[in-house]
Amino acid sequence: MKHYAIAGAARTVGTKADLREVRKAGRVPCNFYGNGVENVAFSIDEKEFVTFLSQPASYIIDLNIDGKLCNAVVREVQFHPVTDRPLHVDFVAVSEDKPITIDVPVRIFGNSEGVRQGGKLSVNVRKLRVSALMADLPDELPVDITTLKLGKRINAGDLHYDKVNIVTPKTAIVCAVKATRNAVAAAAEAES
């Protein structure tokens, strides 16, 4: 999986007024925590983080908090309800010897039989939550729809990858080919 470097500056845990000052300076308050790791309160540049959030790929984050390097993933981002600015970010420590749970983008490829018959491809899920060791995490999860017929779908439980466990519920629909009026009319003509 790809890595993304983010630099942070340690901050003191204080009052709401202190957090407002951090945000006013163009920074986002953050927490870094994990099993066997000391909790760290820090802040990152808001523009840099918004650029990171706008990317569709998933990353392991290389945090540099005042010279201390550590690997993490984003656990939660809180946004302002009106301006949609990030208000707070939680980062969780990850290691190479324990499985990591992260959302990975889905890449759909192939020309579906159902689409060739006049159906419409509906993609319901853009990312799937998976669990794997850091070295085994893929950059994307390929889904072949070549054999997907009209009225059929692919669920998360239908997908299998080496050394990767899909955590998303097995009944979650990844994509489906829905019948359109033209496809139904063409099927009716073919029968008569």
Question: Which CATH number does the domain housing residue 148 bear?
Answer: 2.170.120.20
Note down the domain range covering 68: 3-95
Query: Residue 183 — pLDDT band, cuts 50, 70, 90?
Result: low
**DSSP-assigned states of every residue in 136-164:** G--S-EEEE-TTPPTT-EEEGGG--BTTB
For residue 178, the one-letter residue type is: K
Geometric angle at alpha carbon 68, from 25 and 93, rounded to 5°? 90
Are residues 67 and 109 both part of a single domain? no
Q: Which residue has the higher pLDDT, 13 or 142?
A: 142
Inter-residue contact 91 to 61 (CB < 8 Å) = yes
**Intra-chain end-to-end CA distance of the chain, in Å:** 53
Tell me the pLDDT tens digit for each residue of 39-82: 999 999 999 999 999 988 889 999 999 888 999 999 999 999 99
Are residues 123 and 185 both part of a single domain? yes
Are residues 70 and 134 both part of a single domain? no
Are residues 114 and 38 both part of a single domain? no
pLDDT at position 192: 63
In 3D space, the residue among 168, 167, 171, 123 whose CA is nearest the CA of residue 145 turns out to be: 123
The number of distinct structural domains making up the chain is 2
For residue 18, the one-letter residue type is: D
Question: In degrees rounded to 5, what are phi and psi of residue 17?
Answer: -65, -40
Average pLDDT over residues 142-158: 92
Are residues 88 and 21 both part of a single domain? yes
Average pLDDT over residues 170-191: 81
Are residues 143 and 172 both part of a single domain? yes
Are residues 61 and 136 both part of a single domain? no
Query: Residue 181 — pLDDT band, cuts 50, 70, 90?
Result: confident
Are residues 105 and 147 both part of a single domain? yes
Average pLDDT over the chain, rounded to an integer: 90
In 3D space, the residue among 107, 112, 114 whose CA is nearest the CA of residue 178 turns out to be: 114
Token duo for residue 42: 């820090």
pLDDT at position 150: 87
Domain end (from 42, 64, 95): 95
Are residues 64 and 7 both part of a single domain? yes
Question: Which CATH number does the domain housing residue 60 bear?
Answer: 2.40.240.10
Are residues 82 and 107 both part of a single domain? no
Task: State pTM to two decimals.
Answer: 0.80
Domain end (from 95, 113, 135): 95
Instruction: Report in angstroms the alpha-carbon separations of 29 from 36, 51, 81, 107, 147.
Output: 22, 16, 17, 33, 48
Are residues 79 and 147 both part of a single domain? no
Are residues 9 and 91 both part of a single domain? yes
Domain end (from 41, 65, 95): 95
185: pLDDT strictly greater than 80: no
